[in-house]
Amino acid sequence: MTQEVKTRPLNRLQSMYALRAEVDKMYQAGGEAEAEGKPVAWVMLEGWANAILNAMDIITVFPENYSSLCAAQKLAGPFLERSETEGYPTHLCGYARACVGYSARMVELNGQIPPEAPAGGMPRPNLLVASAEVCDARFKWFQSLGRYFDAPVWTLESPSPHARENLIPGTYERNTQFLINEIKQFVTFLEKVTGKKMEWDKLGFTGDGTNKINQLRWEINQLRKARPGPMHTRDFWSVMSAALYRGAADPTVIVDGHQKMYDEVKYRVDHSIAAINRPEKYRLSFEGLAPWHSLSFLDSLADRGWNFVCESSYSPGRPFQVDLSGVTDPVERYVRKRYRSLASVIDQEFGPEEASQVKEEIMREGSSNRLRTRHIREYQCDGVVLHVLLSCRSASSGLTLFADQLLDMYKVPSLIIEGDIIDTSLFNPVESLKKAEAFEDTMDHYRKVRKDLGMQW
Amino acid sequence: MAYYLGIDIGSGTSKGVLLHDSDIIAYHLRRSGVNYKQVMKKLREELLEKAEVSTSDIVGTVATGQGASMVDYADIQIADIRCCARGMNKVFPEVRTVVDVEQQSTQVLRINKQGQIINFITSERCASGAGRFLDIISNVLQIPLEEIGPLSLKSDNPVIFTTACAVFGESEAVSRVAEGISKENILAGVHKALAEKINSMVDRVGKEPEYGICGGGALNAGLIEWVQRRLAVKLLVPPQPQFITALGAAIFARESGNNKISS
Amino acid sequence: MIPIYFTGIDLGSTMTKVAIIDEHEKLLAFVVQHTGAEHRRLANKVMEEALSKTGITIDEITYVIATGYGRINVPFADKQITELTCHARGVANFFPNVRLGIDIGGQDAKGLKIKDGKLLDFVMSDKCAAGTGRYLEVVAQTLGLSLDDLGPISLKSKSKVSISSVCTIFAQQEVINHLSAGVPLEDVVAGLHDAIAGRVARMVRRLKVEPDVVFTGGVAKNIGVVKALEENLGCPVLVPSEPLLSGALGAALIARETIMKAQAEGKPIVKIARKLEEVTFFK
Amino acid sequence: MSAATKKGLAHVQELYLDRTQRIRELKTEGKKVIGYLCIYPVTEMMTALDLIPYRVLGDMHESITKADTYLPTVVCPFLRSCLDLGLKGKYDFLDGMVTTHICDVGSSLSGIWRYTVKTPFHYNIDTPHTTHDTSLNQIKGVLKAFQTAMETFAGKKITEANLISAIKKHNEQRALVRELYQLKKPDPPLISGAETLKTIKAIQSLPVDEGNTLLREVISEIKIRVNKPVKKNARLLIWGSIIDDIPMIEMIESLDANVVMDDTCVGSRAFFNDVAITPDPIDGLAQHYLIDIKCPRTFRTRDFYAVKKNYMDDLTSRFSYLLDYARDWKANGVILQSVRYCDTHGYEVPQLRDYFKAMDVPSIYLEHDYTVGALAPMKTRVQGFLEIIS
């Protein structure tokens, strides 16, 4: 035991460091671009814009990532306070508030990057690409940046039907056309802004790059089902940024980095090496966005034998093949390669027989417990941590229902931890650790219950 | 002779329980004040004095509560909610749902027959729905804490408390008093709000009989009545409710102590 | 002509203040009295006390303006005006060049944008006791100190701790943890002052900070918070000799202006028959 | 016909005290009632199928006890209240529930409602978030799909004739509401802000025809009544998130102010644009429900293809209608209000304050948490604001 106590609780992947470092290049590239007078876009993380912008040689910088970077270095505080001074209500998204504070500082310094900005800072945007996907903040926030920048804003539309309506025949095709037309409009706009024409083969390149990265991320995640869990969610988060933010900008390097990571994780699986340097007492899933300012909290949990083997956010989708023979339109090819119907997702995830049950369930209940909770079963989790964010409605509202469904289906209990993505003052590590200790009782109890019910884990 | 010590350093008061085998030998309580280091020393001294037991007879000590980390003579620290569950389980093995009303926070625990926590919820980040609210109100109205509960039951028309914040609850009480509303009705309002809060917490963790209440708040007969009315259940109240967590700690001390002996 | 008198009465959440002036804006008497919830109703007594200091009878008062948290239904007042407007006027009387007024009372904190004694804009804290006098009271209580001790103690601090909890109750918890961990009292108290000053500073910056900045209200008596505010705002902060009086004085001054204006317009001055009765809160 | 013995404002008051009064009667007559959240569901289609649209609202006087289980306390208390009432069975009389993506919480509420309250028919309309041409095209398809779902539920088809006559009825209601608001232009206004809110609430608890009758009664009543609102110093325009009960308006009007105009969700917002009757009725509905209703939930800007953004132009294109309101109704102050934790309105506030500042219209921002108690501290702010503008 004493030997173990000396080692660090987490056993990080070596291949992670190189990938994590790639993210800094985003800000370097931004800096250089500004110097060379290349257009810089501030972009929201979503499925479509990044590859397109990079195909048009527009440098993409992600304020969402930058805000979490500030938080991770405990430097977000002053920016948050500045946004309060700017008159923004304090309950708004922490990413947005940090970004507003940053923008206000920038204007104050006539467009210069604030000296206190970490990682070289974000250059002034020529273009803001907001997203109607995932949450309202992502278009309201960029719209309100008009107070600070004269950069035009494009809010990229994407459909977000609820599961039941999504299964209605015709919905998928309509939404596909919606995406195709929206992206065409978007490209027209970009051509206007940059004065350049889109080179469609480039889009093929950046697009396929991101698809390849998604493929590798998905394969790595499949490996994570092993016991003991070979890759901790902290490593997942550390490389997530490189994959999602830099994938389209520098596909070859990012693909290579993920290939290396795949090999390392595979090696760990083959030699049953765990992601934590403690006996794997509990396997858990982390639901919600990461507490960027307090990631070390997960180390103290790892120290108690908690291995976070999966997570709900930023997960790669299962790769799929579509027959595009006869599809010549580059935008349509781009969309059809990555947008698929919920029905086919269900078919592939569950296999014909269970799939039809899941679909019935959706038609009956409006949503499917099985669909939402399947990773808990696949990764055989003993418990789930629900990160309720005090500044994020969309990530927080559904969590408790999820917890009920989970307990009800698989007898897997959930622990609610209140905190925030950015604002340290909203997270209480001492309280949370206390609750975690109590939660071990609960996980033990339900492990017994699952056993008595003859469940797989 | 083998004795086991449970020390609960709370934000308001600190409590100690001394066990011999499974018999409770002595209780002791003192105000925590502002220095946990002092209080935890004095607490043990005075407790052992009471019991006429010497430090050398203590086989195991478990510390819990806000200031647990300050207890240098403890073998281990255990989270207060676990201790609370275990303590309640010792007094009332049949209890499955525990309402624990402490100074800073209120907890609702669902426990199995071994006294393990199978679900729980704690009032967080805000002292609303905690014993502290009652302290503040008794302070505003200048009525001793032990009298506010019974008085609240005399109310014919409880005021509706709209804020959850303990501190603003005070200002709301202040203005109600200023409006000339009777203390009974104000107190009833506070208790009702607290009972309401507890009720929704119980809903959240899931109801399961039997029900028990402990913590300093359980000394308030009025509060118990309000909670019973709201939950429409009978609450079991241990003789010394404020010591339940310390008792649980002592029990853990005995268990780990026994492990020591066995190993 | 016979002298005429004006009164402002400020019924705060914890203090009641009365100011009596004459037509030349001369402050004849004032009372600043700690009044609990029950006692706020007895504002008439505070009024009597102020009158007794001047030898003026209630019937000689031409116009009375009530302000503050409990301003509604003061039986012997002609008019109610918010503490926001009255503070602005009162503060300008102490410091004519005031552009930003900061008032931290028991219930809330206010920022007042002022020009020529007129209120232009304001911000007020709400829903949270952090950044109000209560915050300090609650903690002082825990520490077994009187409010007046906090300031001097904090000045001894070499390195203040940072208090992260916003909730007053939890801040109190944090204080205990710091003290138990052996942090010197003065550093903890300094930390508290910085926390409250930080919050208020963030709030008032929305109004743009320009000199003179004047700080009033009960908390302004706390030299520690004054210093912390200066640090947080990065500019000097002025405090009147009677920081609690600005509301009542402002009310009295506005009372005077009201009458002077009416006289100038040749309107008849009708003095209402005043009964010094308890304040009631029933509509 | 309505069994309500009372007419005009008296009937409004009756419905204010019991919103379900008429609906329950109609249920016994075998009518089907469709609840809808917010103002984006297409009520015309319900009316066209002889289904009764019923606005789902919260109750700020009832403490939220059941909803905490599903929605954390850090989300919009109005929506939490709606769900709470649903979970308590207060909306059991609904035969259907229709929602749209009005905001993130509204969307998850829809899913939770579906799963827990289990209203027989439930549909969520995936309304796009921008006014792009593609979005306008998209919502047409979305609304057609919704129509099909409604038809299946009702067991009959919507004929073009039915739909057009329904649109006409609802347009008539819009026109009547606008006429009512015209009577707020005189000084003093012929109807108070609180009465206006009650009236809108009432008509959103009635079939459209009966609502129109009620509006006519109210309009002719207030034209001739004696005890109308008194003249006050301030005439206020209120903008913001939903206000579905009168305490805040009453608090404001208890001071030296009349609320003469609003841009809120149980107010003018749903009524100030007609639905154009187009060859394919869906086109008119699409235009109305995506473009014409002005709620912060939709991203709009003057010119999507502009390569540079001019902040003032952008503000003007988005908010000039509010300035028109202020001018036409002679408002001398604007209250920007939002229920706590409302993101869509929250982001708008700094920009609106910039705009009104530039236009020299005094404004104040108030945030409330959907409780009556929180109004006390607000009162001082409002009065302070009134003292500034007087």
pLDDT tens sequence across C169-201: 777 778 888 888 889 999 999 999 999 999 899
Q: Who wins on pLDDT, B140 or A6?
A: B140
Query: Which residue among C69, C124, C127 places its CB closest to the CB of D381?
Result: C124
The fold of C5-87+245-264 is: Nucleotidyltransferase; domain 5 (3.30.420)
Look at residue D188 in the predicted model and tell me its pLDDT: 96
Residue of D nearest to B172 (CA): D373
Q: Average pLDDT in the D129-156 region?
A: 97
Tell if the CB–CB gap between C164 and A84 is shorter than 8 Å.
no
In this complex, the chains that touch C, judged by 3 or more CB pairs closer than 8 A, are A, B, D
What would the mean pLDDT of C134-139 be, rounded to a whole number? 81
Which residues have C-beta within 8 Å of that of residue A414, sequence separation ≥ 6? A287, A383, A384, A385, A386, A399, A402, A403, A406, A407
- Asked if residues B103 and A430 have their Cβ atoms less than 8 Å apart, the reply is no
**Other beta carbons within 10 Å of B1:** 11
- Give chain B's count of helices (H) and strands (E): 8, 10
This prediction's pTM: 0.91
Which string of b and e fits C243-265 if b means at least 16 CB within 10 Å?
Answer: bbbbbbbbbbbbbbebbeeeeee
In this complex, the residue of D128, D307, D347 whose CB is nearest that of residue A152 is D307
Say how far apart CA B208 and CA C9 lie, in whole Å: 57
pLDDT(A1) > 50 = no
- In chain C, what percentage of residues exceed pLDDT 90? 54
**Amino acid B172: pLDDT:** 73
The set of residues, in sequence order, having a beta carbon less than 8 Å from that of D313 and lying 6+ positions away, is D302
Indicate the pLDDT class of residue B126, thresholds 50, 70 and 90. low
- Which A residues in the span 96-125 are in contact with D, Cβ-Cβ below 8 Å? 96
Q: What six digits make up the tokens of A296?
A: 């070390």
How much is the average pLDDT of D247-266?
Answer: 96
Q: Is A142 helix (H, G, I), strand (E, B) or coil?
A: helix
Would you say residue A194 has pLDDT above 50? yes
Q: Measuring CA to CA, which residue among B224, B242, B241 is closest to residue B233?
A: B224
Cβ–Cβ gap B34/C282 under 8 Å:
no
Q: Kindly determine whether residue D65 and residue B163, on different chains, have CB atoms separated by under 8 Å.
A: no
Q: How far apart are CA C219 and CA C199, in angstroms?
A: 14
What pLDDT is stored for residue B165 in this prediction? 67
- The answer as to CATH 3.20.20.150 being correct for domain C97-238 is no
Which tens digit of pLDDT belongs to each residue from A318-354? 999 899 999 999 999 999 999 999 999 999 999 989 9
Q: Do B34 and C179 touch (CB under 8 A)?
A: yes
At residue B10, the 3 state secondary structure works out as coil
Interface contact B80, partner A, CB < 8 A: yes
Mean pLDDT for A423-429 is 81
- How is the beta sheet containing A40-43 ordered, strand by strand? A59-61, A40-43, A127-131, A153-156
The angle, 0 to 180 degrees and rounded to 10, between the axes of the packed helices B221-231 and B183-205 is 50
Q: Which residues of A touch B205 (CB under 8 A)?
A: none
Tens-place pLDDT, residues C103-118: 998 778 999 999 998 9
Lowest-confidence range among A3-12, A111-120, A211-220?
A3-12
Q: How many CA atoms lie within 13 A of B176 on its CB side?
A: 27
How would residue B258 be classed by pLDDT, with cut points 50, 70 and 90? low
User: C74 to chain D, minimum CA–CA distance in Å?
Assistant: 16
Quote the pLDDT of residue A438: 94
When CB atoms are compared, the residue of A85, A86, A425 closest to C166 is: A425
Which of the following CATH numbers is that of domain B1-78+243-263: 3.30.420.40, 1.10.1840.10, 1.50.10.10, 3.60.15.10? 3.30.420.40
| Per-residue pLDDT at C36 exceeds 70 | no
Q: What whole-number distance in Å separates Cα of residue C202 and Cα of residue A77?
A: 12
What are the tokens at A210?
Answer: 């991101």
As for the ipTM of the complex, it is: 0.88
- Domain ranges in chain B are 1-78+243-263, 93-237
Tell me A228's DSSP state: S
Domain positions in chain D are: 18-159
Expressed in angstroms, the distance from the first to the final Cα of chain B is 19
The strand pair at C118-124 and A383-389 is best described as unpaired
The residues spanned by each domain of chain C are: 5-87+245-264, 97-238
Q: Touching check for C193 and chain B: CB below 8 Å?
A: no
pLDDT of residue C43: 80
Pick the CATH number of B93-237 from 2.60.40.10, 3.40.50.300, 3.30.1540.10, 3.30.420.40: 3.30.420.40
Contact A64, A395 (CB under 8 A): no
Q: Give A269-305 pLDDT, tens digit per residue.
A: 999 999 999 999 999 999 988 999 899 999 999 999 9
Question: What's the pLDDT score for residue D50?
Answer: 96
Q: Is the pLDDT of residue B162 over 70?
A: no
| Chain A nearest CA to D98, separation (Å) | 12
Residues of A in contact with B85 (CB under 8 A): 438, 441
pLDDT at residue B164, as a whole number: 63
Helix (H) or strand (E) holding A330: helix A330-338
Q: For residue C30, which of C18, C21, C44, C15 has the smallest C-alpha distance?
A: C18
User: Residue A445's closest chain B neighbor by CA?
Assistant: B118
Cβ of D350 and A144 within 8 Å? Answer: yes
| Percentage of residues of chain D with pLDDT beyond 70 | 99
Region C148-155 average pLDDT: 91
Q: How confident is residue C282, by pLDDT bands cut at 50, 70 and 90?
A: very low
Look at residue C14 in the predicted model and tell me its pLDDT: 77
Distance from CA of B172 to the nearest CA of C (A): 10
How close is the nearest chain D Cα to the Cα of C122, in Å?
8
**Contact indicator for D303, A154 with CB cutoff of 8 Å:** no
Q: What pLDDT does residue C283 have?
A: 38
| Token duo for residue D214 | 């009620």
What residues of chain B lie within 8 A of the CB of C172, using their CB? 11
Closest to C105 in 3D by CA, of C252, C244, C249, C250 = C244
pLDDT: which is higher, D167 or B21: D167
pLDDT at A377: 93
Predicted pLDDT at B114: 93
- With CB atoms and an 8 Å threshold, state whether D380 touches C84: yes
- Write the pLDDT tens digit of every residue in D354-385: 999 999 999 999 998 898 877 877 888 999 99
Share of chain A above pLDDT 70, in %: 99
Give the mean pLDDT of chain C: 88
Contacts 24+ apart (CB under 8 A), A79-85: A79/A105, A80/A422, A80/A423, A81/C198, A81/C202, A84/C202, A84/C203, A84/C206, A85/C202, A85/C205, A85/C206
- Beta-carbon pairs below 8 A across chains A and D: 192
* A382-396, C151-165, D92-106, range with greatest mean pLDDT: D92-106
Poorest-confidence range of B42-56, B194-208, D243-257? Answer: B194-208
CATH dotted code for D18-159: 3.40.50.11890
Query: In terms of Cα–Cα distance, which of B49, B52, B57, B50 is closest to B5?
Result: B57
pLDDT at A2: 46
Inform me whether the pLDDT recorded for B125 exceeds 60: no
Task: Decide whether B1-78+243-263 matches B93-237 in CATH topology.
Answer: yes
What is the nearest CA distance from D380 to chain C, expressed in angstroms?
A: 6
State chain A's mean pLDDT as an integer: 92
* Beta carbons of C173 and B167 less than 8 Å apart: no
The distance of C16 to chain B (nearest Cα, Å) reads 13
> Bridge partners of B62?
B6, B76
Mean pLDDT of B163-175: 70
pLDDT band at C101 (very low <50, low <70, confident <90, very high): very high
Q: What per-residue confidence (pLDDT) applies to B145?
A: 80
Residue C37, pLDDT above cutoff 90: no
> Is the Cβ of B200 closer than 8 Å to some Cβ of chain A?
no
